[in-house]
Amino acid sequence: MNVSVRTVQRLCHDVPWLKFKKVRVGPELLPRHQMTCKKWGDDHEGKTNAEWAAVLFSDEKKWNLDGPDGLQRRWIDMRRPDPVVVRRHSGGGSVMSLIAIFETSCNMGKWLTIEEKYELIKKHRRSPSLSQAKLAKWAATAFNLPCPPSANTVKYILQSADSIEEKQRQGITKRGRDVVCPDLERSLKQFVDNCEANETRLSRKLLVQQAHQILEEMPEDTRPKMTLSVGWMTNFMARNGLRFRQFRRRRGEDESEKDEAEPGQPQRVVTDVTDHLALARAIPARQVEEEEDTVDPSTPVIEALNTEKTVMITGANRGIGLAFVKHYVEQGWNVIATLRDLDKEGNEHLIALNPWKMVPLDVSVEESIQVAARALEGVSIDLLINNAGMAGLYGLYDTTVEDCMRQFQVNALGPLLVARALVPNLRLAVAARGSAFVAQVTSRIGSISDNSSGGAYAHRASKGALNVFTKSLAIDLEPQNIGCLLLHPGNVNTAYSNFTGAVEPEESVEGMTRLIARAKIGDPLRLLHFGKGDIIDW
């Protein structure tokens, strides 16, 4: 098919404004396809008209236009809001699609305020002959918008003129949060006022329970069909100026110290994690002794908005995990320390550090992972450090099936399942602070190219599998602003290495935390050495 340069000019216009995207006409794009598209567009940006003609209408057009995933591409001029041309041509024995669509830039502008909508309505009444498209262009100029609103947006504004004028008279300047059920809103607000008057500690969970009770007491014919989601509760708190401030009573503190909190203010109290686990399992909670006091299992467990950063560390009762806990406690983080058995002897060093929460978790048991995730429901986690692992450096004739399966379960599958179960917690941190990270403590022993000594079959395979799992995890979580890291801690002097290592846990953790602090969303996943952050070959 012969296409002139003039045709390319008509389709593509000025090349520097041309961007490359995909049209979803098939299955949803995988992350690797999204990255491929972005790279392809970046590589081809800035071509001359002749170069565009060679790319668009050459033998490689099947790859460029349709691609291996069967999805069409589209070429986008970032200046123009209106579609210009859609053309089809055949080649290579199949039908290809060239869609030249001209759209506005990625900076789509802003929502029109009530005042701007009101001015648009007045402009329409002064000049009723103006079309919706011309009104949109007028709005872009009058309100200094980066792009004009669509004609449908203008149509909707004109249809809603009465409500917009009423909001203008009431002094409302921007889009508010809608109240789905005013009766529920009033009753729940009255409950909040009563709690504050009685100095009752509030939590999201307590508010949701009360909201459910209010809905159940409503007549069925007037009861709204609504789900009391996290988003609904967040909007309710924002409408009523509620914010849970941090208030913690550490284990062993005197009872009189809890009265230091300001009365009538939303508070939170952190109870022993065994109460959370009991609630998650729907069995009676275990009484937790604190001097002469006990925690009443009938008292609602209070969870609240977390204003500090939170880190969760698996395998936290000794070695590298204990050093991680010490570091982040000293840095002022909320530390969630997990270990297999809370009552096991040898946990006194961890207890002495007084972490924010201690959660029983066996990474080799999926049920234990799910119970821990339910216990931490609603807690934002900014950083998950999968440190728990096991060693077994068996040779060729000592390796058994049981050893391979056990190490694979603990070192590879366990960290993956923990990360998957806590994605909702990581998303909460993203919503609050923009990003979250999963740090996997792996080892260079899982590297294929670095293997020069042989042996350690099960251990090498399990750490290599962890690296592979984390690569896929990083691709899948990056669109949600959740990053992943692979960290080699070195030969650390712990029970993991039979205390033969040359590096102390504190030194290793100092290096790894420095790498974690420097991490950014979008960084390519690499196996990093704890020392200077050198990249280790896979």
Do residues 316 and 437 share a domain? yes
Q: Rounded to an integer, what is the distance from CA 290 to the centroid of its chain?
A: 36
455 in the same domain as 368:
yes
**142 and 20 belong to one structural domain:** no
Confidence of residue 107 (pLDDT cuts 50, 70, 90): very low
pLDDT reading at 264 higher than 60? no
Name the band, by pLDDT with cuts 50, 70 and 90, for residue 258.
Answer: very low
Strand partners, 439: 385, 485
pLDDT at 130: 87
For 64-100, the pLDDT digits (tens) are 444 433 444 444 434 444 433 333 333 333 233 333 3
Residue 453 lies in a domain: yes
- pLDDT averaged over every residue in the chain: 72
Give kind and range of the element (H or E) at residue 336: strand 334-339
Question: Sorting pLDDT into bands at 50, 70 and 90, what band is 306?
Answer: very low
One-letter-per-residue 3-state SS of 298-314: CCCCCCCCCCCCEEEEC
**Residue 263 and residue 186 share a domain:** yes
What confidence tier does 412 reach under pLDDT thresholds 50, 70, 90?
very high
Q: What's residue 292's pLDDT? A: 36
Is residue 300 located within the same domain as residue 318? no
Range in 209-223, 411-425, 455-469, 514-528 with the lowest mean pLDDT:
209-223
pLDDT at site 474: 94
What is the rounded CA–CA span in Å between residue 313 and residue 336?
A: 6
Segment 326-338, tens digit of pLDDT: 999 999 999 999 9
Whether 478 maps to a domain, the answer reads: yes
Alpha-carbon gap, residue 316 to 321, rounded angstroms: 4
pLDDT value of position 63: 41
Backbone angles phi and psi of 245, in degrees to 5: -90, 155
Model confidence at 37, pLDDT cuts 50, 70, 90, reads low
Same domain for 287 and 389, yes or no, is no
User: For residue 47, what pLDDT is reported?
Assistant: 58
Domain membership flag for residue 429: yes
Residue 106 pLDDT exceeds 70: no
Pick the residue with more confidence: 101 or 372? 372
Domain that holds residue 75: 5-102
Q: Where does a domain end: 147, 170, 193?
A: 170
Total tally of structural domains belonging to the chain:
4
**Residue 151 shares a structural domain with residue 186:** no
Which of 125, 153, 170 terminates a domain? The answer is 170
Residue range 233-257, pLDDT digits in tens:
777 777 777 765 443 444 444 444 4
Q: Does 109 fall in a domain?
A: no
Q: What is the pLDDT of residue 162?
A: 87
Q: Are residues 359 and 300 in the same domain?
A: no
**Ordered DSSP codes for 220-287:** TTT-------HHHHHHHHHHTT--PPP----TT--GGGGGGSPTTS-------HHHHHHHHHTSPPPP
Q: Is the dihedral of CA 448, 451, 457, 460 positive or negative?
A: negative
Question: Does any domain span residue 351?
Answer: yes
412 with 522, same domain: the answer is: yes
- Give burial (CB, 10 Å; 0-12/13-18/19+) of 527: buried
pLDDT band at 534 (very low <50, low <70, confident <90, very high): confident
What is the band of 136 on the pLDDT scale with cuts at 50, 70, 90? confident
pLDDT tens digits along 149-201: 888 888 888 888 888 888 777 766 555 445 667 788 888 888 888 877 877 77
Does residue 372 have a pLDDT over 50? Answer: yes
* Claim to verify: residue 346 and residue 401 sit in the same structural domain: yes
Select from 189, 187, 160 the least CA-distant residue to 175.
Answer: 160
CATH number of the domain bearing residue 388: 3.40.50.720
**Range of lowest pLDDT (162-171, 233-242, 354-363, 437-446):** 233-242
Is residue 107 in some structural domain? no
Share of the chain above pLDDT 90, in %: 27
Looking at 262, 281, 305, which one is the last position of a domain?
305
Instruction: Yes or no: say if 415 and 471 are a contact pair by the CB < 8 Å rule.
Output: no
- Higher-pLDDT residue of 479 and 452 is 479
Q: Which of 273-287, 305-319, 364-378, 490-504 has the lowest mean pLDDT?
A: 273-287
Higher-scoring residue by pLDDT: 392, 444: 444
Band the pLDDT of 489: cuts 50, 70, 90.
very high
In a domain, 108, yes or no: no
120 and 98 in a single domain? The answer is no
What would the mean pLDDT of 367-396 be, rounded to a whole number?
Answer: 91
Query: Dihedrals φ, ψ of 85, to 5°?
Result: -155, 145
Residues 469, 514: one domain? yes
Strands of 329-413, DSSP E? 334-339, 357-360, 383-386
Strands 289-290 and 293-294, bridge-based pairing: antiparallel
Is residue 367 assigned to a domain?
yes
**Which of 20-29, 127-136, 492-501 has the lowest average pLDDT?**
20-29
What's residue 6's pLDDT?
A: 53
- How many C-beta atoms surround the C-beta of residue 466 within 10 A? 26
pLDDT of residue 141: 87
